Structure formats: C-alpha cells, structure tokens
C-alpha cells in the first residue's frame, strides 16, 4: 500500500525569534512526505523549477520518497513562501507567496501515484487538488488541507473540492473562517453537510481535535522546551496521521484507529518544530517516534475515580 500527496514543493524564507532562513526546502507536500515516509511509501506530486536541485531531491530520496511525479518545469521558478513569527507561534504573518511553476501546472499522475490507497491533498490551489483526487478514484481514504490564502481567493472551488474527500485537516481558525461559524462543533457540522465525515482541527501549540460519526477526540500538543520553527507542523501532523492510516490497510477506519492516528500526527508534528524547516526530520529515527508516542499516551491518560459530589 502507499500514500500519494499533492501540494506545494517550495523554498521558504522564515523568521522566528530564534533566527532567520532566507531560502530553505519547504512546502506542504515536502513536510507531509517526510513525516509519512516513516509509515509507508510516499509518492509526491507537484512541479519545481530550475532552482530545485539534487540537494533538495536528496532530502526526499534519503527517506525513500518516490519523486518520479515531481515535474521539472524548464525555465520556471519553484513555489516560494515567506513568513514571520513573533513570540506567539500560533500567530503567523505571510510576507510573500509566489506561485511560480504552479501557475499552469496540470497534474498527470503515474500509475503508482494514482493507485495509492491513501491520498493527501495538501495545501495548494483547490482546482489542482480536485484534479488529483479525480485521478485517484480507488483510494480508500482521501484527506485535504487548505489555508486562508485559498479560502479568500478560491472559496467556491475549495468547497467543491472538500465535497469529494473523506476528511479535512484544517487549522482551527481557518475552519471557522471557511464555515463562518464561531466554534468547532458548529464548523464541523457545516463541513460534514458538504461531504467529509472526519474533521480534524489543528490548534497549534494547543494540540488537535477530531470529530467523526462516533464522537469527539482531543489531544494536546506534545509539551516541548525547544520550539524553533513551527513551519510545516500542520503538514507533519497530516503525514503522521495519514501515514498511520496507510500502515493499517485491511482495518476499519473507525474512531479508535483515527484516535491512534491523531497520536502519531501529534508526535511527528512535535519533532518537526524542534528545528528550522525540514532539518529535524532528516535526523529523526523510528525509535524516537515510538518513545514519544508512549510518552504522549502516559501524559494524556487518566483514570476516572468517582467522588461523592455535593448537590
């Protein structure tokens, strides 16, 4: 079984209180791929320009990611994003977005990519997400992410794309912006009317919440002393979440399995933020992941003991 992702393959310029990077490998599909690569084979789909070289490919290949469906557009420039964070890492300012080679891009998936069991439509133009979804007609589970940039510039197309997926993984604030609802419960109800049955709201340093047919589940973010750069946390979360699902092919996609997937999403995201860009993911080991999932279970577990309550 395998996972296919379409999304941005990018160079990012990022400033946080801990430092600055002028041009580093990033993009929603890249962060997702590296996290999901710990669970299954990942096929990444998207265009790059002449500025994307062997060093960048090597980061993906070193984790076994299939890069055959990365399309090199001669003379083009790779997607570029610049952002800045203050002391509140949940509050990010986008300084620049240059679509570059994504303008005019038409995804053509190889058999390997279109035959994937699990598909993630990472943050990118919703028309492109829909084109990829249409080519992956046999997928068992399809999820989608997006952001304010597309809610503001392509909302109708985004809602049409959402109606064709099983799950959305959105930032909490953007979920409310998209649905024009004041809280997660009402926002999730609105999205479920459009089609998806699984709604995941990413809440930055506060964790993530999920609503399915079987109810609600929430996890805090893993408590860390060192948070250097939150860029890509959402995509790494998605990589852990979707990767865990892909690693359980014959199993029912019920609330219990999805809860465990949330734990892996939380764990992969927590590693990603420990260094700039993809740096931490390139040194991460499977033992470190397993240990942190156990720690997460320990710190979120409690045993209910009835107490005599006063009326």
Residues that bind ligand AMP (CB under 6 A): 8, 10, 12, 26-28, 31, 81, 97, 123-124, 147, 149, 231-235
What count of other Cβ atoms lies within 10 Å of the Cβ of residue 117?
17
Our CB check for ligand AMP shows the closer of 80 and 244 to be 80
Nearest-approach distance from CB 199 to ligand AMP, in angstroms: 17
The residue among 27 and 207 lying less far from ligand AMP, judged by its C-beta, is: 27
Query: The dihedral of CA 67, 68, 69, 70: what is its sign?
Result: positive
Contacts of 276 (CB under 8 A, 6+ apart): 14, 16, 19, 21, 24, 228, 229, 231
Residue 238 CB contacts under 8 Å (≥ 6 apart), including other chains: 32, 35, 120, 122, 143, 145, 169, 265
* Residue 69 CB, nearest approach to ligand AMP (Å): 17
DSSP conformation class of 66: B
- Cβ proximity to ligand AMP, 81 vs 244, nearer residue: 81
Q: Which is nearer to ligand AMP, 149 or 217 (CB)?
A: 149
What is the smallest separation between the CB atom of 267 and ligand AMP, expressed in angstroms? 15
Choice between 60 and 147, CB closer to ligand AMP: 147
CB of 102 to ligand AMP, least distance (A): 8
What does the alpha-carbon distance between residue 188 and residue 211 come to, in Å, rounded to a whole number? 7
The answer to whether the beta carbons of residues 40 and 50 sit under 8 Å apart is no
Q: Which residue, 16 or 212, is less far from ligand AMP as judged by CB?
A: 16
Helix/strand number for the chain, H first, E second? 11, 13
Give the nearest distance from C-beta 18 to ligand AMP in angstroms: 16
CB of 174 to ligand AMP, least distance (A): 9
* Local structure of 278: helix, strand or coil: coil
């Amino acid at each position: 079984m395998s996972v296919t992702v379409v999304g941005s393959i990018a160079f990012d310029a990022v400033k946080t209180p801990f430092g600055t990077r002028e041009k580093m490998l990033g993009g929603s599909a890249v962060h997702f791929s590296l996290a999901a690569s710990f669970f299954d084979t990942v096929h990444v789909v998207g265009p790059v320009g002449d500025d994307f070289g062997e060093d960048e490919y090597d980061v993906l290949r070193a984790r076994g990611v299939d890069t055959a469906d990365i399309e090199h557009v001669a003379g083009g420039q790779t997607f570029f994003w610049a952002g800045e964070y203050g002391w509140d890492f949940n509050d990010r300012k986008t300084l620049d977005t240059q679509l570059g080679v994504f303008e005019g891009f038409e995804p053509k998936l190889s058999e390997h990519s279109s035959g994937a069991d699990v598909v993630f439509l990472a943050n990118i133009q919703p028309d492109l997400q829909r084109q990829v979804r249409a080519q992956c007609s046999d997928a068992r589970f399809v999820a989608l992410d997006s952001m304010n940039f597309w809610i503001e510039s392509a909302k109708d197309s985004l809602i049409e794309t959402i109606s064709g997926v099983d799950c959305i993984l959105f930032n909490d604030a953007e979920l409310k912006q998209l649905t024009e609802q004041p809280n997660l419960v009402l926002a999730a109800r609105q999205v479920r009317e459009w089609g998806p049955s699984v709604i995941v709201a990413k809440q930055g340093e506060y964790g993530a919440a999920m609503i399915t047919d079987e109810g609600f589940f929430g996890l805090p973010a893993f408590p860390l002393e060192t948070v250097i750069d939150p860029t890509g946390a959402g995509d790494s979360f998605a990589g852990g979440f979707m990767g865990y699902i892909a690693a359980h092919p014959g199993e029912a996609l019920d609330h219990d399995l999805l809860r465990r997937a949330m734990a892996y999403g939380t764990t992969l995201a927590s590693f990603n933020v420990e260094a700039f860009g993809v740096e931490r993911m390139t040194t991460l080991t499977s033992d470190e992941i397993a240990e942190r999932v156990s720690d997460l279970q320990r710190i979120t577990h409690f045993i209910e003991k009835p107490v005599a309550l006063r009326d």
